[in-house]
Amino acid sequence: MANDKINFEVMKGEVHGLLGENGAGKTVLMKILYGMHKPDQGQIFVDGKEVRIDDSAKAIRLGIGMVHQHFMLVPSLTVAENVVLGLEPTKYSYLLNIEKTLKDIKSLSDQYRLQVDPKAIVSTIPVGVQQRVEILKALYRKAQILILDEPTSILAPQEIESLFDAIRALKQQGKSVIFITHKLKEVCAICDKITVLKKGKVVGTVEKSHMNPDELAEMMVGHEVLSTFEREHVAPGKVVLVVDKLKALNDRKTLALKDVTLEIHEFEIFGLAGVEGNGQTELVEVLTGLRELKSGKIRFLDEIITDASPHRRIGMGFANVPEDRQKTGLILDFSVLENLILGRQDTPPFATKWSTLNLGNAAKFAQESIKEYSIKTPSDHTLARYLSGGTQQRVVIAREFSRKPKLIIASQPTRGLDIGATEYVHKKLIEMRDQGCAILLITADLDEMFALSDKIAVIYEGKIVAVKDRNKTNELELGLMMTGGKCE
C-alpha cells in the first residue's frame, strides 16, 4: 500500500512542502497527480473541478508540471530538444525552430541561474546538470501547479536562493508549488505549509508559523533525530592517495580536469565542494579506472596505479559509492544478494577453486550484511529495483564498506535520502574514518560538507581553486568560489 486514503490540498499561490521518509509515498502521490499512476480510489480536483488524469499529457493540459527525482529525459536528444519535447516551436509549420528554442532556453537558464549547454547530448552530461534540464523543462511549460521533487540537491547556496526567488515569483503570480525535499531547513525557509507522510498515510499538515525542524523530523521518522552528532577530531595519518596534475577529457572530448592535484590521508575526510558539472564525475571515473587520463599520475599508498584496472583497484582497497545508485551503483535486475557481492564474485569466499559461485557463503554474507546495515528487504532474493532509494543506498554502502577499504570515494552519498537515512550514512562515514580510512567526499550540499569534512577543496571548471580547513571557512565563501567568484 503506497498511498492509504490520503487527503492533500494545495491553495492557489501557495508553496506546499511534502515531507516523509524514503518509501513514505510522496513520489507515488505526485505521480498520480501527474498521470503516471492511476489511483485505485479517491478523487482529484483542479480549480474546484473533478478531473481524471489518465496520462501526463492530460496533466500538462491541466497546468500541472513535474520535476522528477529520477529523471525523465531522452538520453540521445540534446538538452534543448528535451526541454521543448512535446511543445516544440516550429517554423514553416513543421520544422523545429532551433533559433527560437536556443533563445528561449538561454533566457530561462540566465533567469534562474541554471546554466546548461543547450546543444549537449543528455547522455554526455553529469547527473547534476540533467536535474537542471528537468527544472528548465517544467519552467518552460509555465505550469500553474509545479511539482518539484528534490530540486535543490545539486545546487550551490547562491543557486538555491536564486531558485527560491523564482519560486517566490511564481507564488506572486498566483501559481502553486509542491516542494518535495528532505532538507528541513529548506522547507522551513520557502514553504507556507508542510504535509508529512509516513507509511503511505498523512501524519499531519503544519502551518508556517508552527514549523519546527526537530518536530518535523520526529513526525517523519517516528522518533527524535539528532541534527548534529559527536565528531571527535582525529589527527590525519599517512598519505593514502596522491593525484598529481591530472588532465582528462569529458565525453564531448573537451578538457574536464585541468591539472587537478590532491592529497588525502588516513583518518581524514577530504571534502570536494562544487556545483555539479565542474569535473567531479570525470575525477571519480579517473580515480576508479573508468576514464582514461590525458596526463598526470595517481599514487595509492606507495604504488603508481595510473594504468591499473578498476578490478585491481578494488583488490588494492578502493571502495566507491557512486553519485547515481540506480545507474552505476546497482544492477537493478540483480537480487540484493547478487548486488552485495559484486566485484568479489570471482574471489574467495564467494568463488570456489573451480571458478563457480559459492552460494552458501554468498547467502551467509548477504544475511549478515542485511542485519548489520539494516537493509529493509523481504529477502536477499528481492530485486534491487523494488527497494526504496534509502534501502538501495544501504546495499551499495554495505557492499563497499564490508570490503574493509583503505580509500572510500563517496559521491553525493545522501542524495534523495530522508533525514533518518542521511543520519545513518553520515555515521557510517565517520565510523569508517575513525577506523583509518581515507575518504574523498564529493557533495554539493554544504551542510553535509561541513558536518563531515576535515578539509575542504573547491572545484570550478575542472580546477581546484582552493583548499580550506573546515574551521577556517564558511558557506558563503565556499558558495562564492563554487560559482566562479573569488574570496580574499
Helix (H, G, I), strand (E, B) or coil at 67: strand
The Cα–Cα gap between 163 and 167 comes to 6
Output 170 or 177, whichever has higher pLDDT. 177
Q: If pLDDT is split at 50, 70 and 90, which confidence band does 268 have?
A: very high
Q: Are 243 and 296 in contact (CB under 8 A)?
A: yes
Do 205 and 244 share a domain, yes or no? no
* Torsion angle of the four alpha carbons 303, 306, 312, 317, in this order, in degrees rounded to the nearest 10: 60
Do 243 and 213 share a domain, yes or no? no
Residue 393 falls inside a structural domain = yes
Residue 10 falls inside a structural domain = no
Q: If pLDDT is split at 50, 70 and 90, which confidence band does 259 have?
A: very high
The mean-pLDDT minimum among 57-61, 64-68, 152-156 falls in 152-156
Residue 7 falls inside a structural domain = no
The CATH code of the domain that includes 96 is 3.40.50.300
Edge-to-edge, what's the strand order for the sheet holding 268-273? 318-321, 407-411, 438-443, 268-273, 455-460, 463-469
Q: If pLDDT is split at 50, 70 and 90, which confidence band does 401 have?
A: very high
Task: Choose the most confident range, by mean pLDDT, from 149-163, 218-232, 238-252.
Answer: 238-252
Dihedral (CA of 181, 183, 184, 188) sign: negative
H/E run at residue 430: helix 419-434
Burial group, residue 14, by CB count within 10 angstroms (0-12, 13-18, 19+): middle
Q: If pLDDT is split at 50, 70 and 90, which confidence band does 142 have?
A: confident
For the chain, give the percent of residues with pLDDT over 70.
Answer: 95
The Cα–Cα gap between 252 and 120 comes to 8
Residue 487 falls inside a structural domain = no
Query: For residue 329, is pLDDT > 50?
Result: yes
Do 84 and 188 share a domain, yes or no? yes
Do 217 and 244 share a domain, yes or no? no
The Cα–Cα gap between 293 and 302 comes to 20
**Structural domains of the chain, count:** 2
Distances from the Cα of 46 to the Cαs of 10, 64, 176, 204, in angstroms?
10, 9, 11, 22
Residue 381 falls inside a structural domain = yes
pLDDT single digits (tens) 350-395: 998 888 999 999 999 999 999 999 898 999 999 999 998 888 999 9
Output 270 or 139, whichever has higher pLDDT. 270
Residue 1 falls inside a structural domain = no
pLDDT single digits (tens) 470-480: 888 988 888 88
pTM: 0.72
Do 119 and 268 share a domain, yes or no? no
- pLDDT recorded at residue 478: 86
Do 204 and 296 share a domain, yes or no? no
Residue 231 falls inside a structural domain = no
Tell me the residue length of the chain: 488
Do 168 and 281 share a domain, yes or no? no
Do 176 and 107 share a domain, yes or no? yes
Query: For residue 488, is pLDDT > 50?
Result: no
Domain containing residue 337: 239-482
Do 347 and 426 share a domain, yes or no? yes
Do 279 and 412 share a domain, yes or no? yes
Peptide bond into 39 cis (omega under 30): no
Query: For residue 190, is pLDDT > 80?
Result: yes
Residue 5 falls inside a structural domain = no
Query: For residue 6, is pLDDT > 50?
Result: yes
Q: If pLDDT is split at 50, 70 and 90, which confidence band does 159 have?
A: low
- pLDDT recorded at residue 69: 67
- pLDDT recorded at residue 120: 92
The Cα–Cα gap between 452 and 441 comes to 8
pLDDT single digits (tens) 193-204: 999 998 899 999
Query: For residue 18, is pLDDT > 70?
Result: yes
Which cell goes with 317? 582497497
Query: For residue 227, is pLDDT > 60?
Result: no
- pLDDT recorded at residue 213: 81
Do 131 and 262 share a domain, yes or no? no
Which cell goes with 437? 580510512
Q: Which of 193, 221, 249 is the last residue of a domain?
A: 221
Do 202 and 173 share a domain, yes or no? yes
Q: If pLDDT is split at 50, 70 and 90, which confidence band does 95 have?
A: confident
